[in-house]
Structure 1
Amino acid sequence: MKWFLLSLLAAVVHAGLRFGCETLTVQRLDPVVEPGNIPSAHLHQIVGGNAFNATVLPSVDVGERATCTTCLYSEDLSNYWTAVLYFRARNGTYKRVKQYANAPSLHDGQVAGMTIYYTQESFSSNGKQKITAFKPGFRMTVGSPTVDTRAGAESYKALRYTCLQTILTRGSETYELPKEPCPAGIMAIHHFPACWDGKNLDSPDHQSHMYNTVKGAFQPAGPCPASHPVRMPQVAYETMWNTTEFNDRDLWPEDGSQPFVWSTGDSVGYSTHADYLFGWKGDSLQRAMDSDCFFRDCGSPEKPNAVLKIQSAEEKSACKIARTVDEEIDGCKFPIRSAPLIRALT
């Protein structure tokens, strides 16, 4: 019945994309916030097109430069990235948490990586306004690796966590990393702002050219203000972190404290953040936003409203880039200050 209702919903809504992207690379690189820095301050997990490197200039059209992508849609050569999650054991070791694929109905066959959304005002409306696709050179971030207070986290209303009871658990979102073992892992959720000033492809803080009216949990976004009048697609990431191998409390710190820590050094969860670098080829994203296609139907050849091209799981998995930063990323020991991939814990 649940999937029947979803099918009915898909028949009446405006355009929306949801698709899986496998991991392209895991490295300390960040061409948006730290262009040219090799290595960047902390480790990132990156998905998308193979034009990604330490110095992707704003003048570069990533959609034309890249030759492959780890995403379902072959015309999406954008890059999407977040920090990396680690487990801190009571013996002082750190181990990188593996990702796993979203539910089979959501992930389109990817092995790990992220699920990406491009929605309109909500799943059921575009707010009776045109949704304008991003332009070549566009980039933005949401959240900040320096946020260390609850008030700071709450200023980003749509960056949350879900303690997964099953792979399909939704709701019960928190600003902090879950404090109890999660039966099906932790889902990190990042919703980007969708109101553009109509002028700037970037800004010094990588956020001011956008205005956030997003409420989170895929609720209908508020209207765009006069300062940022252009409604763009609502971009969101879901990353499934497989924390289940660490659910044994005997592995946790002796004081029972929450054992997971971002590669920023944050063990509370307030520093969660994400970066976006637009790279759809030609007018492919605008075509999708102007259509009435919904989720996978947007690229299914057998569907009359298909406007995008999909690629096989083998083609996605074959897209990789060389390592620029050669360092151990799967785990490390104290003293943490000597570890190159995680900022000092204080």
Structure 2
Amino acid sequence: MKWLSVVLALSAPSHAYLRFGCATLSVQRLDPIVEPGKVPSAHVHQIIGGNAFNATMDPTIDVAQKATCTSCSFTEDLSNYWTAVLYFKARNGSYKRVPQYPNALLGSLTGGMTVYYLQQDFNSNGNTKITSFKPGFRMTVGTPTAKSGNNPGLRYTCLQDVMTRFPETAAFPDKPCPAGIMAIHHFPACWDGKNLDSPNHQDHMYNTGKGGFVTAGACPSSHPVRMPQVALETMWDTRPFNDKSLWPADGSQPFVWSYGSDNNGLGTHADYLFGWKGDALQRTMDSKPLLSNGLKTQSVAESNKCTIPSTVKENIDGWLDALPGM
């Protein structure tokens, strides 16, 4: 099953981590964390994971008990993950959704993302107990109103090919990228040990990351519980738009996120809603040699089949005069 990659560290001593693909579950204007119950939400999201996803997602209900399939490789992961959608803005002011393609080693997945669950970093888990998220847990990272790139967990890579990983930048690349743009979202991994959510969906967590896949700092006393660090990678296929004659006349880059005219990308953000079955995730975090030990997997075809119908009936593709909801 080549699309499932449980990767070991490149140097000893090593510990494993989860790296797996999830196909697109849906692309539509819903956001049950930030705008619960609102149909449609303010902007378009790409969503992966379990098919229990809906506009409300009652936090008192364990989504792992409601979902009947997942677009992710591990069948016990019925969580949901979502980010904004990337659009190309033409010189005439019209917009076109940027297509996606699967990450390296993930086979013929339909769009989607690559998901990581890191113990701490690629080389060592620091002998720290990693505590799984709990049913009802949710969090976000980033904010669409951000005007600076001071969050080290949010980065872009200008892809020279599908294997490119560096350098990472806080803003969109400012030149055409030969193989597209990868957007990277690293969630915080220190929990206050009490709250499954907070009013802004971030204060119950604390980020000690230093950017990229590197060792995170120790958790502070206010947020003492080390949890898995969730990271998302999305491969945006910007190649159809690499003709500079299509770019703005001033030469500035032409890509914007679906939440508005953020043409520097600093407001990128992502949402996470926990939905692993039973103790499956805790077992993986307790398993030092191979994190996927005992987890059940499914084929790419099965992942691609898990989708949900769009609640919001609107055109999000083709050439648009305005971003949906904007």
TM class by smaller structure: over 0.9
Q: Map residues 2-151 of structure 1 onto 2, 5 A cutoff.
A: 9=10, 12-104=13-105, 107=106, 109-147=108-146, 149-150=147-148
Q: Given that residues 35 and 56 in structure 1 are in contact (C-alpha distance below 8 angstroms), is that contact kept between their aligned partners in structure 2?
A: yes
- 1:7 CA drift (Å): 5.9
Q: Are 2:260 and 1:273 aligned?
A: no
Residue of structure 2 in register with 1:242 after alignment: 237
Paired amino acid for 1:159: L
Distance 2:295 2:29 in 1: 32
* Alpha-carbon RMSD: 1.6
Q: Are 2:147 and 1:160 aligned?
A: no
- 1:292 CA drift (Å): 2.5
Q: Map residues 130-209 of structure 1 onto 2, 5 A cutoff.
A: 130-147=129-146, 149-150=147-148, 153-154=149-150, 156-209=151-204
Deviations 1:101-138 (Å, cap 9, x if unpaired)?
1112xx25523210000011111111211100000000
Distance 1:243 1:115 in 2: 18
Distance 2:8 2:320 in 1: 49
**What is the total number of aligned residue pairs between the two structures?**
319
- Compute the TM-score of the two structures, normalised by the length of structure 1: 0.89
Q: Given that residues 13 and 292 in structure 1 are in contact (C-alpha distance below 8 angstroms), is that contact kept between their aligned partners in structure 2?
A: no
Q: Secondary structure at the match of 1:245?
A: helix
- Compute the TM-score of the two structures, normalised by the length of structure 2: 0.94
Q: Given that residues 85 and 260 in structure 1 are in contact (C-alpha distance below 8 angstroms), is that contact kept between their aligned partners in structure 2?
A: yes
Structure 1 unmatched runs, 5+: 1-5, 299-305
Deviations 1:135-193 (Å, cap 9, x if unpaired)?
0000000000111x22xx31x21101001111111121111111100001000000000
Distance 2:289 2:76 in 1: 16
Distance 1:61 1:271 in 2: 30
Distance 2:265 2:200 in 1: 21
Residue of structure 2 in register with 1:329 after alignment: 316
Q: Secondary structure at the match of 2:301?
A: helix
- 1:8 CA drift (Å): 7.1
Paired amino acid for 1:97: V
Q: Given that residues 36 and 57 in structure 2 are in contact (C-alpha distance below 8 angstroms), is that contact kept between their aligned partners in structure 1?
A: yes
Identity of aligned residues (%): 65
CA 1:330–1:129 in structure 2 vs 1: closer, same or farther (change >3 Å)?
same
Q: Are 2:205 and 1:210 aligned?
A: yes
Q: Secondary structure at the match of 1:316?
A: helix
Q: Which has the higher helix share?
A: 1
CA 1:172–1:201 in structure 2 vs 1: closer, same or farther (change >3 Å)?
same
Structure 2 unmatched runs, 5+: 1-6
